[in-house]
């Protein structure tokens, strides 16, 4: 029983390792590894095959992102509705030419509806959003924004969305998520008042 548990753990690690390696190594190179090891060490081969499976799954997902409905609207101004899927964070101020850009908020979002002047399309794709706002945003919150879609170098999203200032509107926030966020903010503020090492947590 214990041996099977170790085997399952090893296969799981293999799959996740393959997903991690997919961003660094070509699929053809990953394919050669389990074939070579199969002749030398049959015990390790299943783990490496699991790595190949994980890498293949991620690469198929990435390929699907590159051929999405959003690609038609790159460099276009659109409105997008969807759900925040990551904790928002602040970007660092940047110097562009002779001016200093202000810090903005960035987060991942599951885009579900795309609207242009001519039509509305139902989608379900991950995008990276950058918006200038001081509004409290939390994962699970449904929002709507207007702005411009551009190509993204981030491989795990379909596009980068630069939102217009003051275009963000909150559609709905689950009460349970809002309550948890308020508790988290209260704990963080209390920790900062304590100071010292606890404030770094």
CATH of the domain at 76: 2.40.50.140
Q: Judge if 29 and 59 occupy the same domain.
A: yes
Do both 103 and 54 map to the same domain? no
Q: Which of 14, 43, 66 is the last residue of a domain?
A: 66
- Calculate Rg over the CA atoms of the chain: 22
Give the number of domains in the chain.
2
Q: According to the model, what pLDDT value does residue 161 have?
A: 94
How high is the pLDDT of residue 146? 95
Give 50's contacts (C-beta < 8 A, 6+ positions apart).
10, 11, 12, 14, 15, 18
Q: Which pLDDT score is estimated for 129? A: 95
Mean pLDDT per block of 10 residues along the chain (201 residues) reads: 50 49 49 51 55 50 52 86 91 70 88 88 89 86 93 84 89 72 75 62 48
Say whether pTM exceeds 0.75: no
Domain that includes residue 22, residue range: 2-66
| Residues 82 and 46 reside in one and the same domain | no
Residues 6+ apart with CB under 8 A from 66: none
115 with 55, same domain: the answer is no
Domain end: 51, 66, 81, which one?
66
Per the CB < 8 A criterion, the answer to whether 124 and 110 are in contact is yes
Choose one of 43, 66, 89: the last residue of a domain: 66
The pLDDT value given to residue 46: 59
- For residue 143, the model assigns a pLDDT of 94
């Amino acid at each position: 029983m214990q041996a099977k548990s170790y085997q399952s753990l090893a296969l799981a690690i293999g799959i996740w390792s393959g997903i991690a390696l997919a961003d660094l190594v070509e699929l053809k190179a990953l394919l050669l590894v389990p074939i070579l090891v199969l002749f030398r060490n049959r015990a390790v081969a299943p783990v490496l095959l699991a790595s190949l499976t994980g890498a293949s799954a991620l690469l198929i997902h990435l390929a699907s992102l590159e051929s999405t409905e959003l690609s038609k609207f790159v460099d276009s101004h659109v409105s997008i509705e969807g759900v925040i899927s990551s904790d928002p964070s602040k970007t660092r101020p940047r110097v562009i030419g002779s001016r200093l850009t202000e810090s903005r908020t960035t987060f991942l979002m599951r885009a579900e509806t795309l609207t242009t002047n001519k039509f509305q399309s139902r989608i379900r794709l991950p995008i990276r959003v950058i918006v200038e706002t001081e509004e409290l945003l939390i994962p699970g919150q449904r929002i709507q924004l207007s702005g411009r879609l551009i190509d993204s170098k981030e491989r795990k999203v379909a596009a980068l969305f630069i939102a217009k200032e003051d275009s963000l509107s909150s559609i709905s926030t689950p009460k349970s998520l809002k309550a948890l966020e308020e508790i988290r903010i209260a704990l963080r503020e209390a920790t900062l008042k304590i100071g010292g090492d606890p404030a770094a947590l």
